[in-house]
Amino acid sequence: MTAFEPGTFLAGLLSGLLAAIQDSPAVAPIAAGASAVRPDAVERGLRFLATAYSVVWTILGTYLVILSFRLRRVSRQVRRIRERLGL
């Protein structure tokens, strides 16, 4: 079994998400006067919104997981050395 690598996992996830929002360059930007209430614009907006929110929570979640892994590892290390020293 290969070890879990947060960096590789995050890179894969982000590239997948970016691939999902590859939209047609022919679609006009909203700032150029396209209506934001047209069904295709709403659908496109929702795709981008979902991607952005996924990115936010993925980054925060990954950081939290890495932090808790590091905390657990260092806590175990402290306990082991204390036992060795008889403290």
Q: Are 34 and 41 in contact (CB under 8 A)?
A: yes
Compute the distance between CA of residue 53 and CA of residue 74 in angstroms, rounded to an integer: 32
Query: Hunting for tokens 């890179």 — which residue is that?
Result: 11
Contact letters for another protein, residues 30-69 (x by CB under 8 A): xxx---xx---xx-xxx-xx-xxx-xx--xx--xx--xx-
Question: Distance between alpha carbon 75 and the CA centroid of its chain, in Å?
Answer: 27
Residue type present at position 86: G
Q: Which is nearer to another protein, 1 or 85 (CB)?
A: 85
> Footprint of another protein on this chain (CB under 8 A)?
14, 21, 23, 27-32, 36-37, 41-42, 44-46, 48-49, 51-53, 55-56, 59-60, 63-64, 67-68, 70-72, 74-79, 81-82, 84-85, 87
